[in-house]
């Protein structure tokens, strides 16, 4: 497929569609800056510009057992290719809308503290505060860290 010109990208509209987990995971493996794909999902959504996949959002149960109350969904990965303006905000909105339609009353996500959160703010999300960070590895259950160990920022949207 021929790349779109800058003016064609500006005039085109993003559309969303369900995407299966293996396809979303493959996209994340190829394009995410600092994470591998999550282990599973409740659902995933792709953002398309024409036939081209611009980004994916993967929604699952909260990783933190304290947030896993049966009413909370969590965006476990959001990955957008360079050059697709507004695709991140677009996917955040579609993921929240889908989660609320499925009966969830809140949806959350984490970003690295060094990431500004412009797309989250643009999509109407609220900054809750800083959370944890660090290693999952403990002497009683050693783990190999495959993720950034810095402090995370929690964002949330309620129905």
Block mean pLDDT (10 aa), the chain, length 159: 53 89 95 80 96 96 91 96 91 97 96 86 90 69 66 91
Contact 78, 109 (CB under 8 A): yes
pLDDT value at position 35? 74
pLDDT value at position 96? 97
pLDDT value at position 39? 81
Q: 109 forms bridges with which residues in the sheet?
A: 75, 155
Closest CA to 93 of 68, 123, 119: 123
Contact 84, 50 (CB under 8 A): no
Residue 50 burial by Cβ neighbours in a 10 Å radius (0-12, 13-18, 19+):
middle
- DSSP conformational letter for 124: T
In the block, which residue shows the tokens 């304290």? 66
**Within 13 A of 84's CA, how many CA atoms are on the CB side?**
24
Tokens standing for residue 150: 């810095």
The helix or strand, by DSSP H or E, that contains position 17, with its residue range, turns out to be: strand 15-18
pLDDT value at position 36? 76
Q: CA-to-CA distance for 110 and 27, rounded, in angstroms?
A: 20
pLDDT value at position 37? 75
């Amino acid at each position: 497929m021929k790349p779109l010109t800058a003016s064609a990208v500006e005039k085109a509209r993003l559309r969303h569609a369900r995407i299966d987990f293996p396809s979303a995971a493959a996209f994340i493996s190829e394009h995410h800056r600092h994470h591998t794909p999550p282990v599973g999902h409740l659902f995933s959504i792709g953002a398309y510009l024409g036939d081209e996949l611009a980004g994916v959002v993967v929604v699952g149960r909260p990783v933190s057992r304290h947030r896993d109350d049966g009413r909370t969904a969590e965006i476990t990965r959001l990955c957008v290719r360079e050059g697709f303006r507004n695709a991140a905000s677009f996917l955040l909105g579609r993921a929240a809308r889908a989660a609320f339609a499925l009966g969830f009353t809140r949806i959350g996500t984490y970003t690295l503290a060094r990431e500004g959160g412009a797309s989250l703010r643009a999509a109407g999300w609220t900054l809750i505060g800083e959370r944890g960070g660090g290693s999952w590895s403990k002497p009683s259950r050693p783990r190999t860290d495959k993720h950034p160990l810095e402090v995370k920022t929690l964002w949330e949207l309620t129905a």
